[in-house]
Chains A and B, each alone.
Chain A
Amino acid sequence: MTMTITRLTIIEALNQALRLELERDERVVMLGQDIGKNGGVFRVTDGLQAQFGENRVFDTPLAESGIIGTTIGMAINGLRPVAEIQFAGFMYVAMNQLVSQAARMRYRSAGLYSCPMVVRAPFGGGVRTPEMHSDSLEGVFLQTPGLKVVLPSTPYDAKGLLAAAIDDPDPVIFLENIKLYRSFKQDVPAERYTIPLGKAATIQEGHDLTIITYGAMVTVSQEAARQVSEQTGASIEIIDLRTIWPMDEEAIVASVSKTGRAAVVHEAPLAGGVGAEVVAVINENCLYSLLKPVARVGGYDTPFPTPGLEDHYLPTVPRLKAALLKTLED
């Protein structure tokens, strides 16, 4: 079989993934605000309604809880709905439907009913979206059993993870970083493929320090690691979690046991977040391998700032570099 490979942005890769799922499985439908003719405000669903019709890809009234609540009903009744929430910051409006309903339908019905559904939402800062559009709220979902939470950082992963998410028998929150949407292209096979949920990727091998990260902080981590390696000669491993729940604890523990030093990086606030969970996993499993305390670099514990201040809030290469250098000290 010859593989056709094209260079795609994350947006284009997601669009391709959705198109392939709509083609292969008639149970797959898509709904959300402005996803039809308009193709979504970021164009992820561009052209899908034209190709598959309004019965499969449709706009909804402007109501987040309504979107998630009806998606639950559709998932129970034989469909594989993929809902788009226009910005993750608006998911709070639908929290009951996500947390108390979608996440618990299987549990409450002792397995009789389930919600094989995906909720896609753009998240993250750095592109001057208006207030309340940029929240990274994935940490909230660590406390909501029954959901899976996926955050791709590359076009290749975005396509394979979205196909896996739509295939998954349980509800999946699929968070797409806004800044990464069009920031770079990558070779992506035209064919359908899946990447298993719950598996991290080691995107750079090293033996002196492990960076555990995901989303937009992957590229920040790569650049900071490059500069620190150049400066100190340290060999740095980078793990992209890709799915934060369930978390690939095995990958974290194996790497940190090897390197003895670790930094966790994300743009969400630190308190009680993914980084805190990763540090706890390290403490429980490989504390005695540690040569230095684990560094935790993230958004500050403030509301996500108004656009004028967001660049100061988000972790940057210099800020991460400082943390890495400190962690590498003898």
Chain B
Amino acid sequence: MHTDALETPYQLLDLDGRLTGSMPSGITDEQLRGWYRMMWLTRFFSNKIVALQRQGRATTWGPLQGQEASAVGMAAPLQPRDWVTGSYREAGAYMTKGLSIAALTYYTRGYATPRELTGEDTRCLPLQIVIATQTLHAVGLAMASKIRNAGEVVVGGCGDGATSEGDFNEALNFAGVFKAPVVMVVVNNGWAISTPRSKQSAAARLAYRGAGFGVPARLVDGNDLLAVFEVVREAVDRARAGDGPTLVETVTYRLGAHTTADDPTRYRSKEEIAYWEVRDPIKRIRQFLFDRNLLDETEDKHLVEEAEAEVARQVEIAHNHATPGPDGFFDHVYQELTPRLQRQRDEFQQLNLGAK
């Protein structure tokens, strides 16, 4: 651990992308470029779903623009056997863990993503809707890993609003008591719809919460990819070594609206947004890559265009994929349909209620 200080967010890259500490060990140039590309994929994906929603081709969507460093950094240290849980705004972490953009896009069409589109199990629980609920699932997954001696680690993502929920606090408490191999990542983006961070808790830092549960905590600049990666990697390593949970607060900002149904101009100032635009996480890592000669203008242009095209391609796959039949809501309620559900399904089909 570099510091237990929870006053100033841990930072490795300043606003100009200059390395202010020592480079985390063992990161290859390929990994760095890969994460940078993943940040662009995340942004393009989120923006694309917003655009599709405006055309009536996607359900309500919560944009995650501005949070790409937290999203990618929290999942990048994980192995395939590890798990991620998150809310709808952790989609970037799921992509980093390996879930395809097509699988995520299909969900925004209003259907559960079918197995054939999900592909291999990437160990990302369905994006959570009820705030903080998934934090307990994360701890349960981790408890099972420990009981089974499986060596799997879990990253449990949630937002600042989630820390006010009972489940979040119960999750941290269970994690501490059972020394569960879990990293709880609070992506503090400043706002829970229109409620500012200051109204979620009187505490200056959400990371303080760890002390009350006997869980070590870290505070990190959530727009600094390298810092998030390093802090989460250390926590993942601790968890895998049997040293228990860590709480990580990443300080970031939701540049977009809460969802496509939200108008943030009602409650946020232009000045505040301008302050955070300067801190754009993609800009910062981009400058770092340029300064280290890992990327030049031509390569960058190509990478960004390719990322946008890849999102378009994946969205196309999702939109070309067959939708369930109109009676698809009977599927997967139980492993096998109960006699009553079978009767209801038969009746639905006989009346041809799904006909257009």
Query: For the complex, is B113 an interface residue (Cβ under 8 Å from A)?
Result: yes
Q: With A73-B136, A110-B114, A145-B333 as given contacts, are A96 and B130 in contact (CB-CB < 8 Å)?
A: yes
Q: With A106-B332, A146-B334, A170-B335 as given contacts, are A78 and B112 in contact (CB-CB < 8 Å)?
A: no
Q: List 21 A-B pairs, Cβ < 8 Å.
A: A61-B174, A69-B139, A70-B140, A70-B143, A73-B136, A73-B141, A73-B143, A73-B144, A74-B143, A77-B150, A78-B144, A96-B167, A97-B133, A107-B333, A110-B113, A110-B118, A111-B331, A111-B332, A146-B333, A148-B334, A169-B335
Q: With A77-B140, A108-B126 as given contacts, are A249 and B340 in contact (CB-CB < 8 Å)?
A: yes
Query: For the complex, is B171 an interface residue (Cβ under 8 Å from A)?
Result: yes
Say yes or no: A112 contacts B137, CB within 8 Å.
no
Say yes or no: A246 contacts B338, CB within 8 Å.
yes
Say yes or no: B115 contacts A112, CB within 8 Å.
yes
6 residue pairs, one from A and one from B, having the closest CB atoms = A73-B140, A69-B136, A66-B170, A70-B140, A77-B144, A246-B338
- 1/0 per residue A97-118: CB within 8 Å of B? 1001100011111111110000
Query: For the complex, is A55 an interface residue (Cβ under 8 Å from B)?
Result: yes
Query: For the complex, is B94 an interface residue (Cβ under 8 Å from A)?
Result: no
Query: For the complex, is A79 an interface residue (Cβ under 8 Å from B)?
Result: yes
Query: For the complex, is B41 an interface residue (Cβ under 8 Å from A)?
Result: no
Give the distance in Å from the alpha carbon of A73 to the alpha carbon of B334 in the complex: 18
Tell me which residues across on chain B come within 8 A of A74, comparing CB atoms: 140-141, 143-144, 147
- 1/0 per residue B121-134: CB within 8 Å of A? 10001100110010
- 1/0 per residue B62-89: CB within 8 Å of A? 0000000000000000000001000000
Say yes or no: B125 contacts A113, CB within 8 Å.
yes
Q: For window 202-237 of chain B, which residues contact chain A by CB distance below 8 Å?
A: none
Which of A69, A76, A106, A250 is close to B170, meaning CB atoms less than 8 Å apart?
A69
What is the interface residue range for chain B against chain A?
35 or more
Query: For the complex, is B148 an interface residue (Cβ under 8 Å from A)?
Result: yes
Say yes or no: A106 contacts B335, CB within 8 Å.
yes
Give the distance in Å from the alpha carbon of A29 to the alpha carbon of B149 in the complex: 14
Besides A65-B166, A148-B334, 13 new A-B residue pairs in contact (Cβ under 8 A), listed by A number: A66-B170, A66-B174, A74-B144, A74-B147, A76-B125, A77-B83, A77-B140, A79-B147, A97-B133, A109-B125, A110-B114, A112-B118, A169-B335
Q: With A70-B140, A76-B137, A110-B114 as given contacts, are A65 and B335 in contact (CB-CB < 8 Å)?
A: no
Say yes or no: A100 contacts B140, CB within 8 Å.
no
Tell me which residues across on chain A come within 8 A of B145, comparing CB atoms: 77
Max chain B CB contacts within 10 Å: which of A70, A96, A100, A169? A70
Q: With A73-B143, A249-B340 as given contacts, are A61 and B177 in contact (CB-CB < 8 Å)?
A: yes
Tell me which residues across on chain A come within 8 A of B140, comparing CB atoms: 69-77
Give the distance in Å from the alpha carbon of A148 to the alpha carbon of B336 in the complex: 12
Q: With A69-B137, A69-B171, A96-B133 as given contacts, are A110 and B338 in contact (CB-CB < 8 Å)?
A: no
- 1/0 per residue B89-132: CB within 8 Å of A? 00000000000000000000000111100100100011001100
Give the distance in Å from the alpha carbon of A170 to the alpha carbon of B148 in the complex: 21
- 1/0 per residue A39-66: CB within 8 Å of B? 0000000000000000110001101011
Beta-carbon nearest neighbor of A27 in chain B: B148
Query: For the complex, is B56 an interface residue (Cβ under 8 Å from A)?
Result: no
What is the interface residue range for chain A against chain B?
35 or more
Give the distance in Å from the alpha carbon of A188 to the alpha carbon of B140 in the complex: 35
Say yes or no: B144 contacts A79, CB within 8 Å.
yes
Tell me which residues across on chain B come within 8 A of A189, comparing CB atoms: none
Which of B121, B126, B150 is close to A105, meaning CB atoms less than 8 Å apart?
B126
Give the distance in Å from the alpha carbon of A228 to the alpha carbon of B194 in the complex: 65
Tell me which residues across on chain A come within 8 A of B125, comparing CB atoms: 76, 105, 109, 113
Q: With A70-B139, A79-B147, A105-B126 as given contacts, are A114 and B133 in contact (CB-CB < 8 Å)?
A: no
Query: For the complex, is A89 an interface residue (Cβ under 8 Å from B)?
Result: no
Say yes or no: A73 contacts B138, CB within 8 Å.
yes
Tell me which residues across on chain B come within 8 A of A246, comparing CB atoms: 338-340
Query: For the complex, is A247 an interface residue (Cβ under 8 Å from B)?
Result: yes
Give the distance in Å from the alpha carbon of A198 to the alpha carbon of B335 in the complex: 14
Give the distance in Å from the alpha carbon of A198 to the alpha carbon of B334 in the complex: 13
Max chain B CB contacts within 10 Å: which of A107, A109, A110, A249? A110
Beta-carbon nearest neighbor of B329 in chain A: A107
Say yes or no: A247 contacts B144, CB within 8 Å.
no
CB distance from B96 to the nearest CB of A (A): 19
Say yes or no: A77 contacts B152, CB within 8 Å.
yes
Give the distance in Å from the alpha carbon of A76 to the alpha carbon of B125 in the complex: 9
Q: With A66-B167, A69-B167 as given contacts, are A101 and B115 in contact (CB-CB < 8 Å)?
A: no
Say yes or no: B173 contacts A63, CB within 8 Å.
yes
CB distance from A71 to the nearest CB of B (A): 6
Say yes or no: B340 contacts A110, CB within 8 Å.
no
